[in-house]
Amino acid sequence: MKRAKKKIIFVAKKTFHKLKNIFRGFTIIELIVVISIIGVIASIVLVSVSSYIGKSRDSRIKAEVSEIAKEATTYYVDNFSYSGYSISDSFIPVSSGSDYVFLSDGVGTYVVYAKLTTSDNYWCADSTGATNQIENPPDIEVYACLSGSGVGGVVCDNNGLCDSENENNANCSSDCYCGDGLCHFEDEDSSNCSEDCVTGAYCGGSGIAGDPYQICDCISLQSVEDNLSAYFILTNNISCSGVSFNPLSNFSGDLNGNGKKITNLSIGSSLQSVGLVGTNNGSIHNLGLEITIFDSASQYKGSFAGINNGNINSSYSICTITTTGQYAGGITGENRGTIENSYVVCTINATGQYAGGISGFNNPGAEYGIGIIRNSYADVSLSGGSYSGGIVGSNQYAGGIIKDSFASGTVSGSFPGGIAGYDDANALMDNLYWTDSSRNACGAGWSSCDNTPNLTNLSDLYSFDHLVYSNWPSDVWSWSESSLPTLK
């Protein structure tokens, strides 16, 4: 023990003499400077080592977040849900405060994240495959890696709705900028923007008779689909240019055009029933429509409705319809309801059966309802297949009524008629006119309507004193000596 103690003392003395020799000749100040330099170098080395360790830890966090995402995806493939998934014990946090967090709606979306060690940000991965750095933990209701600040970490989720209090800033114009006193409808369709816009997809109103939903653009027009039995009113003319519009399905409400018009509406669909409305069981009135319909083989197609079981009144359409299917009409493909005080100016190219200026088929049978057309006209260039007519392709069965109406323009095809391609002897046609002198009232081969009185071929129908107008209400129509009637 004494020998070891003597050896330590010897080594200490030897080291002291070596240091003494090294610093021999240095002044006190010089020694302080050297020691300070050594301290700075040591600090730099320590910072570099610390930074390297931090970056290494962050790289591990990023890699393991991605691995957890893969593990969650594999779980979903096996179980068709994220419900029940939890992070494996093999994923151990690299440091305190960097725990891995997995959130899911339990069905088809998830987000996993962990706090980075070199900043206050988080590394995130979600079920869309996105991986990125975010400023705050993801919103539990969004389950997505969205960059931003504020509660939930959402500034702009770019979903077209103003649905976050954190989206109220000029940098989020793709979604909303609430609170400026204006209703930027397409961006503020949310209760979170109630200070600017009403809740819902419309521009005002509550959908009842005395307070109809207000339609101010093509987006709110498409949203009629969400409340098909409600009351609606157009507040201004609407252009649907560039909008992919889907026919409203089974409409049973009230659509008041308010003397306004919808323009640049283009519909290409292979649905069975195609038009502004697929099937109309309600009322469409006081509406102007400029529409193009093109499809492969829809069964029923018309400007206002593929099938009309309701009422179309005091409305007009300027249209182009192209189809290889059956039952094409300027106003409706098949009429089982009432069309009155309306007109259509249309080019129709149809290769299937039953094309008509106003309706392809009128009154398909009592079990479907009675088809009535009155006080209306069609100004058409119609090229059809079998049974094409200036007013209807076919007027069928007892109860079908067409009266006080006319057709102007030309009709061609197999069995074309100035008024109807085919008319059932039991249907009613009265006080009807047509201008195509190359056509009989009804298509060749069908003589029943040729023996019907009050079907008259005229060279023009401009003059308001023609008998066809005798029952037309003067508070609805305007006449001119040089043009066809228009709605007031």
Q: pLDDT tens, 378-391? A: 999 999 999 999 99
Q: Are residues 371 and 331 in the same domain?
A: yes
First-last CA distance in the chain: 122
Higher pLDDT pick, 356 / 12? 356
* Triad 173, 176, 181: Cα angle to 5°: 110
Report d(CA 134, CA 139) in Å as an integer: 11
Other Cβ atoms less than 10 A from the Cβ of 134: the count is 20
Burial of 470 (0-12, 13-18, 19+ CB in 10 A): exposed
Domain count within the chain? 3
Mean pLDDT for 112-140 is 80
In 3-state terms, what secondary structure has residue 283?
A: strand
Give me the sign of the Cα torsion angle 83, 89, 93, 94.
negative
Residues 353 and 440 in one domain: yes
Residue 29 lies in a domain: no
Please say which residue of 170, 199, 228 terminates a domain. 199
**Among 201, 237, 236, 197, which Cα is nearest to 222's?**
201
- Lowest mean pLDDT segment, chosen from 192-206, 230-244, 250-264, 472-486: 192-206
Q: Is the pLDDT of residue 223 over 80?
A: yes
- Dihedral, CA atoms, 9, 15, 19, 21, nearest 10 degrees? 100
Cβ atoms of 153 and 138 closer than 8 Å? yes
Based on the fold, state whether residues 213 and 195 are members of the same structural domain. Answer: no
Both 251 and 264 in one domain: the answer is: yes
Does 111 score more than 50 pLDDT? Answer: yes
Q: Which residue has the higher pLDDT, 226 or 314?
A: 314
Based on the fold, state whether residues 231 and 332 are members of the same structural domain.
Answer: yes
Say if CB 357 and CB 330 are below 8 A apart.
yes
Q: Are strands 283-285 and 261-268 parallel, antiparallel or unpaired?
A: unpaired
Pairing of strands 486-487, 477-478: antiparallel
Do 270 and 189 belong together in one domain?
A: no
Same domain, residue pair 403 and 330 = yes
pLDDT higher at 363 or 465: 363
Helix (H, G, I), strand (E, B) or coil at 22: helix
Note whether 294 and 381 are same-domain residues: yes
Cβ pair 158, 175 in contact under 8 A: yes
Residue 394 in any domain: the answer is yes
In a domain, 186, yes or no: yes
Percent of the chain scoring above 90 in pLDDT: 34
Q: Considering only residues 336 and 73, tell me which one the structure prediction assigns the higher pLDDT.
A: 336
Measure Cα distances from 418 to 19, 393, 437 in Å. 121, 10, 8
Report whether pLDDT(259) > 90.
yes
Per the listing, tokens 């077209």 go with: 160
* Residue 4 lies inside a defined structural domain of this protein: no
Residue 399 burial (CB count, 10 A): 15
Neighbours of 157 (CB within 10 A): 20
Residue 470 counted as domain residue = yes
Q: Could you give the CA distance from residue 422 to residue 407 in angstroms, rounded to a whole number?
A: 15
Residue 276 belongs to a domain with what CATH number? 2.160.20
Query: What is the four-CA torsion angle of 151, 152, 155, 159, rounded to 10 degrees?
Result: -140
The lowest-confidence range among 353-357, 379-383, 399-403, 447-451 is 447-451
Mean pLDDT of the chain: 79
How far apart CA 146 and CA 208 sit, in angstroms, is 39
Q: What residue type is assigned to position 73 of the chain?
A: T
In this prediction, residue 453 carries a pLDDT of 64
Does residue 233 share a domain with residue 96?
no
Long-range contacts formed by 71-77: CB under 8 A, 24+ apart: 72/102, 72/104, 72/110, 72/112, 72/127, 73/127, 76/108
Quickly count: other Cβ atoms within 10 Å of residue 408's Cβ.
22
Pair type for strands 372-374 and 338-340: parallel
Asked whether residue 22 is domain-assigned, the answer is no
Q: Among 357, 353, 361, which residue's Cα sits nearest to residue 413?
A: 353
- Give the pLDDT confidence score for residue 28 in this predicted structure: 67
Please tell me the predicted confidence (pLDDT) of residue 367: 63
Q: How many CB atoms lie within 10 A of CB 137?
A: 17
- Please indicate, yes or no, if residue 55 is contained in any of the structural domains: no
SS3 259: coil
> Is residue 192 domain-shared with residue 218, that is, in the same domain?
no
**pLDDT computed for residue 33 by the predictor:** 63
Structure tokens at 144: 């997505």
Question: Could you tell me how far CA 48 lies from the centroid of its own chain?
Answer: 54
Q: Does residue 57 carry a pLDDT above 60? A: yes
Q: Strands 110-115, 101-104: parallel, antiparallel or unpaired by DSSP?
A: antiparallel
Same domain, 378 and 448: yes
More confident residue, 310 or 138: 310
Domain that holds residue 236: 201-487
192 occurs within a structural domain = yes
pLDDT above 50: residue 359:
yes
Do 245 and 194 have their domain in common? no
pLDDT in tens, 389-398: 999 998 877 6
- Under 8 Å between Cβ of 265 and 290: yes
